[in-house]
Every structure is written in C-alpha cells, then in structure tokens.
C-alpha cells in the first residue's frame, strides 16, 4: 500500500509513521518528492498481528493524508507508488527526468589503448558514462570471456582520464565485491534478469543498477525483477530495453520500441534503449537510436569501439568513434524537439 503524507510535516512525523509500519512487521520505503513524501509499504503482516488493518491503523495518524492499496504486483517500481519520474544520479550525471543520457563504450575491455582511445573520443561527443565488459557472458564457452579485474583496472584508468563514471556488468555473485571497487553503476545483463539471488545482492549495495530486459521477459516480469532490487533498499534502478527474441532473423533481436511508452506509463524508473544488441549490425544502430528518442526514452546504451574491425567480441554491431559522433549530432536535434537535454 501507499501512504501519502501531508504537505507540512517534520522528520519526526515521518519517523513515527515508519515506526508504526515496522511494528506491524512490514517494511517502509520512503520517497521524498518535490511536493509530497510518500511511503511504500511492502511485506506480509506478522501472523500475531493479522487482526490489525494496516490501512485503518495508518489512516488515523495526524500526518497522513491518505492511504491506498497498490494494485500492481511491482509495488515500489509502480507509477502508483511514485508519480514523479525518478532521476538516478551517478557522480554528477543524471539519468531520467528531462535528461537524455548516453552510456557508450566497447562491448569488451580488450586493451589499454582500446579503452583510452575510445573513451577520449566519445567524451568529445557528449558521452556521459563509459561502458565496457570485464566479465563477459558469451553463448559459447570457447569465446573471449573478458579480462576480469585487469579489465576493470583499464576501465578505471579511462574513467579517471575522462571523468566519465563506469558502467560494467556483474555476472556472478562471487565477483560482486571486486566489481564494486571499480564500478559506478552495476549492470545486470539480459541473461541474469531473473537471477533473483544476484538481484537481491545488488539491491543491498549503494550503487545504481542498470537492469537489462531478458530476451523472453515480459514487461511485468521485467518490472518484478526491478522490484527485487528495490525491495532490498536500492531505489536507484535504470531499466534498459535491448531487444527481445522473435521469429525474425534479419536483426540480432527485435527492438521492442513499444516497451518505452508502456514502461513510462507503468513505472517511474528511467528507461534506456540498447540499439546495438537489438540490431546486431552497426548499419541499423542510428535508426534505432533515433527511434528511442522519438519514443520518449531517457537515453542510450550504445557500443562504440575505436577500431571495430579488430574487436574480439560483437565487432559487427559496434560503431567507430566518428560514426558515433555523427549520430550524436542528429540525436541532439531530435532530443530538443522531444524536450530532452542532450549536452
């Protein structure tokens, strides 16, 4: 259920209501908006207190404006819980709201030269955060699996040189501690979108989480995965549509562009598009990127390599730096029309 607090209240009022919620064995998630503070209440009532009516108990508090049940199974991620759009802040970079944020970089970290040349190039063309995989989930066990911590160190060098925060994937719970030492945003890939143990662990960290939609994951399942993260206390979740599996083989996946308006209606969380994995071919990346802007997305997660022809993974879908910069100039014009800031 959602507890909407009155406009004029003190910290002790919020603390009192929170304490009352917790006394019933429930969990309170406080969200402070520009005008109102709301408290999301989740959990199951203690068996010893089943006679209590939480809605009635909380409604009588003098600081509570109204209490109402949430009808969606994803309580915290639901637009019912928070009307205002969430803006996730990462070292001065804002994702969501009026911003169009670009996370760019290679599929995999391969070398110091690759990371530094790519990072310096995209930084000049409005890239806000730097992506790169150090632990790579690959379909074949015989292909390049990433450089591990050495790759994370190269990401950190490029990040320090450009000032761009790091977005990188964590695949295995045992790798979480080492990834936390370097990453500014924890990416959960499509294959792990329903790895609930991993989702709970990243939900217990203080790092924003970029959650990719699975190849066969419904919108509701996607938002329930976000709920797993948020229910552990981490409200900084960024959603990413990266294409779903259909009968079509002309592209690597089918970009579900309709997911953007659907998610915007259902949740307050920011929504990005990954045109690179959806297309699988660099020729289609610009068109899909522009479609993302037109559909109302909050940004892109796009693959860029200083020399795609020598990339050890996903070479066919990575833009080179000049192609990326040319695309950004077009996106800036479209973003302005859509009321988004892309600088």
pLDDT of residue 54: 77
Q: Tell me phi and psi for residue 313, to 5 degrees.
A: -145, 140
Based on the fold, state whether residues 25 and 145 are members of the same structural domain: no
Joined tokens for residue 167: 């977005």
pLDDT of residue 25: 85
Q: 2-5 and 64-68: which strand pairing?
A: antiparallel
Based on the fold, state whether residues 48 and 195 are members of the same structural domain: no
pLDDT of residue 322: 98
Let me know the angle formed at the C-alpha of 23 by 17 and 28, rounded to the nearest 5 degrees: 50
pLDDT of residue 138: 65
Nearest to 342 by CA among 287, 300, 283, 306: 300
Based on the fold, state whether residues 106 and 193 are members of the same structural domain: yes
Question: Helix, strand, or coil here: 331?
Answer: helix
Residue 125, C-beta contacts closer than 8 angstroms, at least 6 positions apart: 321, 324, 325, 328
The answer as to whether 81 is a domain residue is: no
The answer as to whether 17 is a domain residue is: yes
Q: In Å, how far are 32, 289, 290, 324, 343 from 329, measured between CA atoms?
A: 36, 12, 11, 9, 10
Q: How far apart are CA 230 and CA 60, in angstroms?
A: 28
pLDDT of residue 2: 86
pLDDT of residue 50: 60
Choosing from 21, 40, 68, the residue where a domain stops is 68
Based on the fold, state whether residues 94 and 137 are members of the same structural domain: yes
The structure's pTM equals 0.89
Based on the fold, state whether residues 135 and 222 are members of the same structural domain: yes
Q: Mean pLDDT in each 10-residue stretch from start to end of the chain (343 residues)? A: 85 90 88 81 71 78 86 91 94 97 97 98 98 82 79 97 98 95 97 97 97 98 98 96 97 98 98 98 98 98 97 95 98 96 94
The sign of the dihedral angle between the CA atoms of 76, 87, 94, 328 is positive
Joined tokens for residue 200: 């709970």
pLDDT of residue 49: 61
Choosing from 68, 98, 119, the residue where a domain stops is 68
Domain count across the chain: 2
Give the count of alpha carbons within 13 A of 90, CB side only: 26
- Residues 12 and 5: beta-carbon distance below 8 Å: no
Domain of residue 37: give its range.
2-68
The answer as to whether 82 is a domain residue is: no
pLDDT of residue 250: 96
Q: How far apart are CA 125 and CA 228, in angstroms?
A: 35
pLDDT of residue 53: 77
The answer as to whether 77 is a domain residue is: no
Based on the fold, state whether residues 18 and 98 are members of the same structural domain: no
């Amino acid at each position: 259920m959602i507890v909407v607090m009155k406009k004029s209240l003190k910290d002790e009022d919020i603390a009192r209501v929170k304490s009352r919620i917790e006394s019933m064995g429930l969990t309170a998630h406080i969200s402070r908006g520009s005008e109102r503070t709301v408290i999301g209440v989740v959990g199951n009532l203690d068996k010893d207190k089943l006679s209590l009516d939480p809605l009635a108990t909380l409604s009588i508090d003098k600081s509570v404006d109204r209490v109402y049940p949430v009808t969606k199974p994803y309580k915290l991620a639901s637009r019912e819980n928070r009307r205002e759009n969430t803006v996730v802040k990462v070292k001065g970079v804002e994702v969501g709201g009026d911003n169009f944020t670009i996370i760019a970089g290679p599929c995999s970290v391969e070398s110091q030269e690759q990371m530094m040349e790519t990072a310096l190039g995209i930084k000049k063309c409005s890239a806000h955060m730097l992506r790169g995989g150090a632990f790579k989930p690959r379909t074949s066990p015989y292909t390049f699996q990433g450089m591990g911590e050495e790759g994370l160190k190269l990401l950190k060098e490029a990040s320090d040189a450009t000032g761009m925060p790091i977005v990188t994937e964590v695949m295995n719970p045992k790798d979480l501690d080492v990834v936390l030492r370097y990453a500014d945003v924890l990416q959960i890939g499509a294959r792990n979108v329903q790895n609930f143990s991993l989702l709970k662990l990243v939900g217990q960290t203080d790092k924003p989480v970029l959650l990719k939609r699975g190849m066969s994951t419904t919108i509701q399942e996607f938002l329930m995965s976000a709920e797993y993260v948020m229910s552990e206390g981490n409200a900084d979740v960024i959603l990413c549509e990266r294409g779903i599996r259909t009968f079509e083989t002309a592209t690597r996946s089918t970009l579900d562009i309709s997911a953007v308006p659907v998610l915007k209606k259902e949740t307050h969380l920011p929504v990005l598009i990954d045109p690179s994995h959806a297309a699988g071919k660099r020729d289609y990346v610009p068109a899909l990127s522009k479609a993302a802007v037109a559909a109302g997305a909050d940004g892109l997660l796009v693959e860029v390599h200083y020399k795609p022809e020598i990339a050890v993974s996903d070479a066919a879908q990575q833009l080179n730096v000049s192609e990326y910069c040319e695309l950004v100039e077009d996106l800036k014009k479209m973003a302005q029309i859509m009321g988004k800031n892309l600088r």
